[in-house]
Structure 1
Amino acid sequence: MDELQEKYKVIIVDDEPIILRSLKAAIPWNDLQMEIVGEARNGELALRLIEDTSPHIVISDIRMPVIDGITLMKEVLSKNPKLVFIFISGYGEFEYAREALRQGAFDYLLKPIDHDELVEMLNRARTKLDEQKQNDQLIHSVQMLSLLARERLFAEITLGNARPLEHLKWLENSELESGYFMAVVQLDDYTTLSSQWSVEEKRLWLFAIRNIVEEWSLEHGVLTVFPFHNGEWILLFPGSLSASRRELGEHLIAGIKRYSKQSCSVGISRTTQGIDQLSTVYPLAAKALYQRFYSGLAGVFIDEEISFPSSKEVRYPKELETALIESIRTLNRDRMWSLFDELALFIESQAVPKDMAERLLVELIVVLYRNYEYLNINSDWSLHGLLSKMHNLGTLNEVISALKEEFGVRLEQGNKPVNREDTRSAIEKAKRYIESNYHKDLSIEEVAELADLSISHFCTLYKQITGYTFLEYVTHCRMERAKYILQSSNVKVYQIAPLVGYQDPRYFTQVFKKASGQTPTEYREEHTKQSH
């Protein structure tokens, strides 16, 4: 960076003074061509500080009262998507950190903070900001996308959603245009393992295996790697390595086994070209991977090497597949069950051996399972487990009955009407809780958990039912209480602030004036006169 160029502005958000002092003193800000332009003790103050200082980088604790780090980031990124957020999280907050990355964070650090790691992170952030400042159009390669953007992009396109391509035409000249093949890595017996692990153990195992896969990828020329489903990762290799597909797959399996003691299998596609082909090669790699259910052996499965019996050509029921997909998207269980009965008749009419019928069913099940993505109801439903269950059933009727049950139950979940009374009751419960605890450091996670709702669902419903956002209502309760105290007592303004949840009397005065149009003193004087 040119020495005459303006330094990048940084703000630090943390409620621990020792962390604020440590970061200011231990990081060579001047050498990094950066300067700290402000610090805040909570999300509310940080929001104001960001508006006042327009920083380039925000280093923030992920857990804060009222406005947590992720909520703060989403609010700010909606106005300035180029702002770089680096989060500090405590041990055991992996899920929050992963959510932060999914929502657009640049990176995160675990406490206690490693200053060298933060310096390296800030160097990367500066590089990113330099590139943005020079010319956004220069970001023309997939390798120059942040890890989160790459994962989101590749996952969307692999699912068949081409929408991102409309805004990313420059990717047409990326390294994927030169030819590549896909490997899908999946933990063997993931369903069984997952049931044995606690939530934290599951999170740590997947985190550890992801690190192993990523480190292996860096050493073996992988173009990109990203998690696709729980217990499943996708790797994209350059086409030049096509001749070594089996050796690469076996080496990867051995590496995962050596460092994690977990067994996995790999399905590998044929070579293709163009990022828009991701959704085409994924089913090929997945279909190859599921051959282990026929072979009974874990290992490497390559789609071009799969040999099907040639004694009789089996026609794939494309019309039934299309109709079943439509029944899923319209949440029509009865229609689905009827179509599964037709599927049984179709397979019987083909008069094929069980292994060939099973191949056909696996291909159909994979397609139907992926379409449940549209309903957002299969997050805890393992495709591996579903296929294992199908493989262990002895007759076609048993398989069809099991498919009706598996797909039907989850379709009912998507079709289950929202109980408006229960929803309103949960929001009213949350509202009463806020009214009783507004003077405390309330967090949105705490109140959403009380309502037994996800944070995003809680935010949406709370606004719909009350007309307020969570923060607006907390502020409303605080202001109403402050007005009552001002009208009915002689308590000094600086003493009222902590009674209604504000430790800083000056900030309380600013919020009060914004809400009422008057300072607390002016409000008291006016309403005292009126009472006389």
Structure 2
Amino acid sequence: MYSVLLVDDEKWIVRSLRAKADWESFGFRIAGEAYNGEDALRRLEEECPDVVLTDIRMPGISGLVLMARARERGIQAEFVVISGYSEFNYVKQALQLGAADYLLKPVDEKELADLLILLKSRLDQAKRTSGLLLASLLQNRLPEEAPLIRDILLRHRLPAQAAELSVICVLRNAREADACGEEAGAGLSLPEVPHLLLKTGRRSTGVLIDRGHLDSVLAALSRSEQRLDGVGVGVRVQSEERLEAAIQTAAWAASSYFLTGVKGGVHVYREPAAEPTELLLRLAHSFKSANSAAISDILNQLKALFREGHSDIRHAVQLYGLVQTLIMRGQAVEEEPQEYSVMEDYAPSYSTLLELFGDAGRMIAFCAKELQSALLLSAPATGAVSHAAMKGIVAYMEEYYADNLSLSSVAERFKLHPNYVSNLFQRELKSTFTKHLMKIRLDHACALLTETELSINAVAERAGYEDYFYFAKIFKKQFGVSPSHYRLNQGLSARL
């Protein structure tokens, strides 16, 4: 909710403005009143309201002078000036000084309501833009951009000194995120304290606050009716350079439920008590030596390490990346530790792991199954579809052949790397994904041509081809005749 300061030298006008709108329903609250320019300027500096509605002509400091002095002092509030018809020249000056808008006396309720809707939209957009700009600045980390970072913080009534900030990451439940939308902070219940929202993922939001408000914000989130998978607090911010690290570690802390299996609660980031490097290295060696029992034992040790909270989400990403590397490179993988840096090529982001598996237990079970299957694949190929994952893929293609299938979409459906699926087709079927899908589709097309009187165009669509001419081209290439001649040869009349 945005704060508003009402300024007029006549108290009855201030009371009238209060009564002319249901301010809270428009997303605003009246933060204070001032009856002269001097008092208004003092309140502006102390309370930093988001919006100021001020009479344009007042004794002493006028609305125009108030605006000018506020701008000189770096105050970023949106000003709306109120004037009579005879004062329109003053309105022009106010607009030149950067006033957001103006209202004419007597203030009309509908005009005020329309103005509040417009202001709310502008302020929301400014917050979104500030969040995106701040995220971009933090990624670049150029020393000369530090003043711009401080300016963004001040604009949102946050401490200009990064050391006075705290960073929280809120990870919403997947269903809740789908219901509320992907906009940063959508549906979050935060107390009335200055803050800035940063979108850090599809369902995660970073919240920058004054460190002094940390406890009240965490308390509000713990009472929230919105289902939250986790709330994380990042490392202490010591400078602008550490702000990005605070945001990242807050996100990792919010993802702790993935490792422990327990959703909800507040997690303060701490450096991992144990590094799984040695276990990951042993896992690679066990795979190379085809030691199934050792693979199972090591994965169980990793699962226990995760559940006891001695690790963080990055190590789950490393494990998944290593498993994908081993599967892709097979038992030819080198034993030297530096060779496993390639695992980053196959490791998803931590947020992708959250979406794919939900928790580390499921991910490790999947890794165990894939590693054992990969060991079976190392045996001489028979040409039969003996691999469990391959059976599932072929069955899936048989059922959904008419959909817009691709190697990537099918691999994602089975939580496999596309290159790995491609290798499965080569090893198990001596074919490619594209050729096998075409075979399935054309077999079904042949059945439709001989068993139904559907038009050729309808047959193409049911077989998964939106383009009739492309269908006719590959059909003739495969069978030597057009679809219509194929039907005629089978004794049915061709219908286009």
TM norm structure 1:
0.35
TM norm structure 2:
0.37
Higher relative contact order at CA 8 Å, sep ≥6: structure 1 or structure 2?
A: 1
